[in-house]
Amino acid sequence: MDHFTYEAGELRCEGVPAEAIAAAAGTPTYVYSRATLEGHLARIAAAFAPVDPLICYSVKSCGNLAVCRTLAARGAGMDVVSGGELFRALRAGCPPERIVYAGVGKRDDEIAQALEAGIGLLNVESEPEFENIARIARALGRTCRCALRVNPDVDPRTHRFTTTGTKETKFGVDIERAHAFFRTYGRDAHARLVGLHLHIGSPVYDTAPYVESVGKALALRDALAREGFAVEVLDVGGGFAADYETGRSPSAADYARAIVPLIEPAVRSGLRIVLEPGRSIAANAGILLTRVQYVKRSGDKTFVICDAGMNTLLRPSHYDAFHFIWPVRPGAGHVPPARTREPAMAGLVPQDVVGPICETGDFLALDRAMPPVERGDLLAVFTAGAYGMSMASRYNSVPLPAEVMVDGDAFRVVRRRESLEDLVAHEP
Ligand code: LLP
C-alpha cells in the first residue's frame, strides 16, 4: 500500500503530480511519501501491538534525515550499523535509548561514540568484539546493554548476498556457541549481556524462517535461564518484504500472525521485543524519477537510456532485483492496473531500461514489457525508497541525485542535487 497512484492518466505522489516534482527538482530524483512512511510504521505497530515491540527503523534502508525525522516523531527507534548512521539517528531526534547498533566490524571510535551517546542496545557479533566493547566501556566508566547476535542456521530463501542467518556467514555467533558465550561474558559489569539478536536476511517472502529462528531463540532463552542468565530482550531483526510486485509479499499482519503467538507468553513474563524493519517501511514509500535521454535500437533490442542507472539504483544490477518501471504519463490505455512483471495489456514492447554508466551491467530492467517511450519521457521506478539512495554512488563522477519529500499537496527538496563542485569538494 502506498500513495503513488495514477489519476487522470498521470502519476501522482500523494496530491502532487510527479511531473511537477521533476520540473522543479530535475532528474534523477528520489521522491518519498510521508503518508506512506507513516502508514507503514503504523501498520507494523498495529499488527505487533499484542507484544508492544520497540520498532527500530533500519536506517541503512534510507537514511535521509527527513525520513528518519518523520519516523522518529511517530515513536520509532532506529537500527544503525555505523557511526554515521548513529549520527543520523541522533540528528533526526531519535532518543538514544531507542537506538540499537549492529554490525560485524564496529571500530573503537564507533563503540565509544555509541557508549557516550548512551544507546539502548549494542548487538554483539563475535567474542573479540564483546571483549573490545567491555574494555572500552570500562575505560570510559560506562555501562551498556548488549544483545548477542546468534546465527540460528535458518535459510531465509532469499538472494545469497542478503542471506545472513545460515551457518558460515560473517554475521553473529553460531547458536551452539551462545551458551559458552554467556558463561564467559554473561557477568560483565560494564557490558551487560541482556539480550539475543536475530536477523536472518532480507527480503524474506515467507513467514516460516521467522517461526523457525524465533523458536530457536526462545529455546535458547529458556536454556540460558536454567543457567541463571536472564534474557530480557529479543531483537527479531528486519527483513519483512516490500511490495515490489503487487500482492506478492506477506503483509505486516501476516508476519505478526506467525510470530506474535510464539513470543506472546515470553512477553507476558517480561521479555521485551525489538523489530528492525527497513524496506517494509521505506521501499514502497519511495520512487525514483528518471528522464529518458535517448531511445536506441541495437539488433533486435530497444534500449531506453535514462539519466538514472546503477549509480543511482544498484539493486537491479547487483541482485537482479525487480523494480516496476512505468512512464509517468503512459498514454491512453496504458495506466497500469498493478505492478507486475508481465502486465496484461496490449501494445507493450520489450525494452532494456539502462543508465548512462560505462558498464554493460548498468541496467534498471532487461526485456521489460512497457509502453513505447520517447526521448524526454519521465519514468517512475517504483518501490525504490529502500536501498536506493542509500546505495547510490558517484561512479563515473555523476553527482548524487536529489531527494524530495511529499506531504499531501506540498513537496520540498530534502537533499539537494549535488553539484560539480561537490564532486571535488574533498580534494585539495
Ligand atoms: N537489521 C539488520 C541487522 C540488518 O542487517 C538489516 C538489513 C535490517 C535489519 C533491515 O532489513 P530490511 O527490513 O530492510 O530488509 N541492500 C539489500 C539489503 C541488505 C540488507 C542488509 N541488512 C537490498 O537492496 O535488498
pLDDT of residue 148: 98
Q: Residue 382 above 80 pLDDT? A: yes
Q: Are 357 and 310 in contact (CB under 8 A)?
A: yes
Homologous superfamily (CATH) of 34-279 is: Alanine racemase (3.20.20.10)
What average pLDDT score do residues 124-146 get? 97
Q: Residue 165 above 80 pLDDT? A: no
Evaluate: CB of 249 within 6 angstroms of ligand 1.
no
What average pLDDT score do residues 194-200 get? 97
The residue type of 307 is D
Q: Choosing from 56, 68, 144, 358, which is the catalytic residue? A: 358
3-class DSSP state for residue 189?
coil
Q: Residue 123 above 90 pLDDT? A: yes
What average pLDDT score do residues 205-227 get? 97
pLDDT of residue 1: 80
Is 358 one of the catalytic residues?
yes
- Considering only CA atoms, which residue is closest to atom 19 of ligand 1? 162
Give 61 Cα–ligand 1 centroid separation in angstroms: 7
pLDDT of residue 158: 80
What average pLDDT score do residues 207-235 get? 97
What average pLDDT score do residues 216-235 get? 97
Which of 202, 317, 389 is the best mutation target for the ligand 1 pocket, counting ligand atoms within 8 Å of the beta carbon and taking the most? 202
Q: Residue 410 above 80 pLDDT? A: yes
Q: Quick one: which atom of ligand 1 is closest to the CA of 197? A: 3
H/E stretch holding 411:
strand 410-415
H/E stretch holding 150:
strand 144-151
pLDDT of residue 206: 94
Residues 43-71 pLDDT 10s = 999 999 999 999 999 999 999 999 999 99
CATH 3.20.20.10 in the chain: give the residue spans.
Answer: 34-279
Q: How confident is the model at residue 358 (pLDDT cuts 50, 70, 90)?
A: very high
Q: Residue 162 above 80 pLDDT? A: no
What average pLDDT score do residues 9-35 get? 98
DSSP single-letter state for residue 3: S
Q: Residue 253 above 90 pLDDT? A: yes
Q: Are 351 and 298 in contact (CB under 8 A)?
A: no
β-strand 402-407 against 29-33: which pairing, if any? Answer: parallel
Which of 55, 56, 60, 121 is the best mutation target for the ligand 1 pocket, counting ligand atoms within 8 Å of the beta carbon and taking the most? 60
Q: Quick one: which atom of ligand 1 is closest to the CA of 279? A: 14
Evaluate: CB of 61 within 6 angstroms of ligand 1.
yes
- Considering only CA atoms, which residue is closest to atom 14 of ligand 1? 278
Q: Are 147 and 79 in contact (CB under 8 A)?
A: no
3-class DSSP state for residue 369?
strand
β-strand 233-235 against 77-80: which pairing, if any? Answer: unpaired
Homologous superfamily (CATH) of 4-31+283-423 is: Lyase, Ornithine Decarboxylase; Chain A, domain 1 (2.40.37.10)
pLDDT of residue 373: 97
Give 100 Cα–ligand 1 centroid separation in angstroms: 14
Evaluate: CB of 251 within 6 angstroms of ligand 1.
no
Residues 65-92 pLDDT 10s = 999 999 999 999 999 999 999 999 999 9
CATH 2.40.37.10 in the chain: give the residue spans.
Answer: 4-31+283-423
Which one, of 3, 20, 2, 14, lies nearest residue 328 by Cα? Answer: 20
Q: How confident is the model at residue 163 (pLDDT cuts 50, 70, 90)?
A: confident
Q: Residue 160 above 90 pLDDT? A: no
pLDDT of residue 333: 93
Evaluate: CB of 240 within 6 angstroms of ligand 1.
yes
Average pLDDT, the chain: 96
